Structure 1
Amino acid sequence: MTPYSLAFYLHVVTSGSVLGARPADTPQRVAELLGTDFAENSFDDQSMWRDYGLVEFFWDRQSAGQPWSGHHFTVQVHRLAHGASSVPGALLRSRYGRFDRRLRFAKLRRLSERRGTELVEVPHVQAPCYRTFWQPESLTSVTVIGAHEEYVTPGNLRVGDVYSIGAPTRPEKVECGATRVR
């Protein structure tokens, strides 16, 4: 893994943002920071998400006339295991270089802790196949492949690989044990 792409993941985990874009930011603000190279999806005029390849941002609203409210983002690390060269998106590649197909959680955790950023294991609704680690200050969660089980675990990932990184994961969600793969 290039040190630059690892720096990207570390920044997401420690800051709870992607290139400065935060989960609560408006679609316009996210586009200012991440660019306009995205696929946009919507459902019932009340939810929308933008797919930037490796990163997805999500919004919702009460009705079609209301402004969008930022809900969360997810860094879909598992997509890299399929080898799609365009997955990270042009902006991420220009800043961080090549992204490896897998991100080993042990390496991410070790480097995070060296920087004083602790990742605490919390319950996951699909344990033991998935494990979740939470960073309380940035409200970021890291979902890791915990075990292989037919029809549940993606075949291209190994035990110990990061599946996704998301934010925000609020304390009340952690307390009720409701963390899950986004």
Structure 2
Amino acid sequence: MKTVFLTLILGLVCAAQEAQAELDPSQITGDWHSVLSAADNKEKIEEGGPLRAYVRHLKCSDSCSELSIEFYVKFPEKCILLNVVAERDEDVYHVTYMGSNFFELIPVSENALAIYGENFDGEETTKVTQLLAKGDSVTQEESQQYEELNKERGIPPENTEDLTETDDCPK
């Protein structure tokens, strides 16, 4: 009986450690800047690509059950400001933009946030990530954590774009 009880306790402890931490709205809400982006289909995030976005502001509402995202897209050279609201179901957000998108927020540090998403455009699914910073850049450690995320999700390192080189949209 003691063995069963200890096994149950050990299982509960392990499950509690694996559970994803609840998002803290105060860490998410605020001004952000897109630094890096990567995708398994690089064409989607290259200049002029439909998933190339320059994030400016995130706002959590209702304990982050809704997430407002303010970002710019450039078509072809003109910056267009967009705002979408994503709804959270469990740990995954859903929003309609250039198809159907499911994504998760992955805190990297106090000043960096990664986004991993999957976009279905009606024909194919594209895995895409972005690394956001509260400033204009990230540390080497934050960049390495982002590279590891991409590796885990099957996105090759050569498919990473530095968005700071082409971000000339209003701050």
Q: TM-score, normalised by structure 2?
A: 0.29
Answer 1 or 2: which has greater strand percent.
2
Q: TM-score, normalised by structure 1?
A: 0.28
